[in-house]
Amino acid sequence: MINKILIANRGEIAARVIRTCKKLGIETVAVYSEADQKAPFVSMADESFLLGPPRVQESYLDTEKIMPIAKKSGADAIHPGYGFLSENGSFAEMCEQAGIRFIGPSADVMEKMGSKIAAREAMEKAGVPVVPGTDGAVASSDEAIEIARDIGYPIMLKASAGGGGIGMQVVNTDQELIKAFESNSKRARTFFGDGAMFMEKKLDHARHIEIQLLADSHGNAIHLFERECSIQRRNQKVVEEAPSSFISDETRQRMGETAVKAAKALGYVSAGTIEFLVDEQENFYFLEMNTRIQVEHPVTEEITGLDIVEEQIRIAEGKELSIRQSDVKIDGHAIEVRIYAEDPETFFPSPGHISAFELPDGEHIRNEAAVTDGYDVTPYYDPMIGKLIVKGADRSEAISLLKEALLTYKVEGIKTNIPMLKTVADHEQFKNGNTTTAFVETYYLPMIQTN
């Protein structure tokens, strides 16, 4: 049994975890930085502790501050949310050593999946198809050019330790490759302390489709179907939906089975997600595995009726999964849009004071908000200030509801991407389900340039 959970995170996901804890009668402990004193998640928790200054190294990443608070407060588990310490193997180990359960997989699996190169190798071994590319790290730009001859342009250059689109670039020529190799390797070293780079064929017109997994410590693993997250800007997701309108039932089943097989081969425990790229012929290739809860988990919850945070907690308690694969059914269609504090045309951040804030309200409308009226959005963290999730009987009903909800979503004082989301929701190609990863460049950006 878990009686008290410390949430080592902030924003909407901290609030989301607290909500499930309340439902389960579990006490909650929030930790927060000076920049987040007025954040909703702080007052929602039963107890809250100040970590320190706003910068993440001195607050949400500072395990030397978080661990003593966990001990002092008597928390018997830590939920890491996403980002920050959620995929940090040594933090998971630190928790175990302190006798506090880390709500997530083992440090071992986490570290393996955290290295994109090691993850590729592990997946190939488990019989999961991977994107054509290098087996290991590429040592130099000279070697990169030789490999490029084999794979052929366009090529996606990636930092092994990268994340959030950092250290990642599409290249089309040798010259671009040389320049990008040096600069991204340098950036990856600065950001992640590891400059190792690898290369993959860039699949054109590909879709980003991922499988949600649940695996317990008794060897049971199931999938909760897929999410399609193709619409992205700066390699970060903006619109996510479930189910995908693109893949056939047969592909859906094969992807689910492949993901479950991979989870079992890895000895994975907890909720996790395997991301795939899917080409026009519905061939799917492993992209990466996220060993934590994902931002877009609500769309899966909406179509399956499950609470993924609750499942994570149950699994961490050592319980067996209460559901079998045959119990999981898709009901309706859900869409999530991420509300970012940013310029809707340049995607540049727009921190500042929110002078008015109003959320859409109604049946089948779900809000996961990180801010409130009068809140100051600081430049220290991710620009996401909330998520809007809608559900319909089918995709077109969900899109209609999304459009309606966006009309009443009010954020004043800062710039947000809401105008962009409205444009997407209204776009013929979006309605037709033509949601490839090139959507923003192909349809959105040319549209705003002509206006």
Is residue 348 involved in binding another protein (CB under 8 A)?
A: yes
Of 35 and 214, the one with the shorter C-beta distance to another protein is 35
Residue 348 Cβ, how far from another protein at the closest point, in Å? 6
- Please report whether residue 164 would count as binding another protein according to CB under 8 A: yes
Question: Judged by CB under 8 A, which of 40, 129, 351, 433 binds another protein?
Answer: 351
Does 160 sit near another protein (CB under 8 A)?
A: no
Q: Does residue 353 belong to the site contacting another protein (CB under 8 A)?
A: no
**Alpha-carbon gap, residue 9 to 84, rounded angstroms:** 7
Contacting another protein (CB under 8 A), which of 40, 129, 349, 433? Answer: 349
d(C-alpha 5, C-alpha 432), whole Å = 43
Q: Is 341 in the site for another protein (CB under 8 A)?
A: yes
350 binds another protein (CB under 8 A): yes
Footprint on residues 34-73 left by another protein (CB under 8 A): 55
Please tell me whether residue 383 binds another protein under the rule CB under 8 A: yes
Question: Among residues 378 and 429, whose Cβ is nearest to another protein?
Answer: 378
Closest CA to 334 of 444, 212, 251, 205: 212
Catalytic pick from 101, 120, 252, 292?
292
Of the residues 23, 38, 218, 234, which one makes contact with another protein according to CB under 8 A: 234
381 binds another protein (CB under 8 A): yes
With binding defined as CB under 8 A, does residue 382 bind another protein?
Answer: yes
For the bound state, the minimum distance from the C-beta of residue 35 to another protein, rounded and expressed in Å, comes to 11
Least separation in angstroms between CB 60 and another protein:
13
Cα torsion at 98, 102, 106, 107 (round to 10°)?
Answer: -60
Q: Please tell me the distance from the alpha carbon of residue 10 to that of residue 49, in angstroms, as a whole number.
A: 12
Q: Does 379 bind another protein (CB under 8 A)?
A: yes
Active site includes 292? Answer: yes
Residues of this chain that interact with another protein (CB under 8 A) are: 55, 164, 234, 341-342, 348-352, 378-383
Known catalytic residues?
292
